[in-house]
């Protein structure tokens, strides 16, 4: 085993509109902006947002490509090879869902798996985000 891998730092998500995405992640998940720069080699704006020591790295490319439709549905997305989603733990799925409904969040899927409540939502670009109440 390689032992010098220490801990996860961030998850990267490409977005079409940085302002709208930063606001969505703030309003719905409590993330706050830490850093906002333009990366000329990438031809993209890069913004780090943080909540409780965990970061999301948002990319807004000059020429973005939309998310394919099959990536917007949890079960078909899972069949596509590659990174799937970020998951968050919640202690009250019903309160979380109520807040999402009030904020107009697109709820993609709800299920109980092995006694755990699971809900997937879509961010403004259709990126899936999972929530689990154990």
DSSP class of residue 95? H
- Going from N- to C-terminal start, the domains of the chain cover 7-64, 66-134
**What value does the mean pLDDT take over residues 103-129?**
97
For 37-85, how does the pLDDT look when each residue is reduced to its tens digit (9 = 90+)?
Answer: 999 999 999 999 999 999 999 999 999 999 999 999 999 999 999 999 9
Average pLDDT over residues 22-38: 98
Q: Please tell me whether the overall predicted TM-score, pTM, comes out greater than 0.75 for this model.
A: yes
For domain 7-64, the CATH class is alpha beta
How far, CA to CA in Å, does 12 sit from each of 2, 23, 38, 49?
24, 17, 15, 10
- Average pLDDT across the chain, whole number: 96
CA atoms within 13 A on the CB side of 83: 9
The CATH code belonging to domain 66-134 is 3.10.180.10
**Section 95-111 average pLDDT:** 98
Bin 64: left if φ > 0, else alpha if -120 < ψ < 50, else beta.
Answer: beta
């Amino acid at each position: 085993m390689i032992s010098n891998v220490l801990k996860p730092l961030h998850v990267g998500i490409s977005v079409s509109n940085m302002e709208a995405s930063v606001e969505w992640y703030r309003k719905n998940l409590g993330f706050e902006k830490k850093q906002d720069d333009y990366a000329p080699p990438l031809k993209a704006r890069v913004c780090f947002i943080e909540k409780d020591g965990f970061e999301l790295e948002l990319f807004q490319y000059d020429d973005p490509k939309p998310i394919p439709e099959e990536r917007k549905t949890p079960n078909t997305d899972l069949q596509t090879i590659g990174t799937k989603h970020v998951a968050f733990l919640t202690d009250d799925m019903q309160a979380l869902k109520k807040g999402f409904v009030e904020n107009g969040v697109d709820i993609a899927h709800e299920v109980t798996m092995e006694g755990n409540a699971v809900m997937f939502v879509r961010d403004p670009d259709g990126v899936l985000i999972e929530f689990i109440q154990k």
